[in-house]
Amino acid sequence: MAMKVFVWSRAEIEDGAAEGADAVISVRLHADRGSFETLDTAMAQVVLGDVDAMLVLRSDDIGVPRLGAQRGPTDEQIAAVIDFARAIRAGQPDATLAIHCEHGRSLSPALALAVLADELGAGREAEAVQRLLRLDRDGIMAPNPLAVRQADDRLWRYGALEAALAASAPRFAAVRDTWSRVASPAGVRAAPRLQSNRKRRIRALDQDEQEIRELRVSLPLLT
């Protein structure tokens, strides 16, 4: 028996796509200060209020640890995802796990790949990648390269997971290369210093958002 993993967007979760799942991992943008009431209600309904069957993370979808006020996925978050999936699997080996991020294109596929690779074990990275790509209903997945690299390290795969994904998913390779250029000395953008003046902080956040938008225009598959 194997765990069944599905990847969704936030809107799909709110519309009930995860009904029937045994557990949910919810990835919410760190910069999002809006209401999550509808999302929280949908998640609670899926798992019948079982708080142990829900994991909530905050991360922006960037391929570097920081970009101004944006914060990328962390090693601790990847570890939390793996431990959470292991706990669910220990209680029910054939459990259904729903993972969502904002658009279901980048962060959630990367986390799903970590879960699949962990379950299958070392040496079966290509199989984990193929299982992930079969979930790509609309051909839009481009897993977050930072999260994939962190999963690679956390699972002691020595780059095998990233290599298997790059070999089978050109979109991922393109996203990875784009973020590599951003992270290079020539592409690094210094994070704005904290300002006591609220208007200056708002301008800094607006600048960060503009930079992210420009990256997404150059590579539309970023979510």
Highest mean pLDDT of the ranges 22-26, 180-184, 209-213: 22-26
The strand pairing partners of 57, in sequence order, are: 27
What pLDDT, in 10s, does the model give residues 152-174?
Answer: 999 999 999 999 999 999 999 99
The per-residue pLDDT for 210 is: 56
Instruction: Evaluate if residue 83 carries a pLDDT over 90.
Output: yes
Per-residue pLDDT averaged across 6-23, rounded?
96
Binned at pLDDT 50, 70 and 90, residue 204 comes out as very low
Binned at pLDDT 50, 70 and 90, residue 58 comes out as very high
Query: CB neighbours of 162 closer than 8 A, spacing ≥ 6?
Result: 145, 148, 149, 152, 176
The per-residue pLDDT for 209 is: 54
Instruction: Evaluate if residue 73 carries a pLDDT over 50.
Output: yes
What pLDDT, in 10s, does the model give residues 111-154?
Answer: 999 999 999 999 999 999 999 999 998 899 999 999 999 999 99
Phi and psi at residue 109, in whole multiples of 5°? -60, -35
The per-residue pLDDT for 187 is: 59
pTM for the whole structure: 0.84
The per-residue pLDDT for 183 is: 86
Looking at per-residue pLDDT, the higher value among 34 and 3 belongs to: 3
CB atoms under 10 Å from CB of 174, counted, come to: 15
The per-residue pLDDT for 190 is: 43
Instruction: Evaluate if residue 200 carries a pLDDT over 90.
Output: no
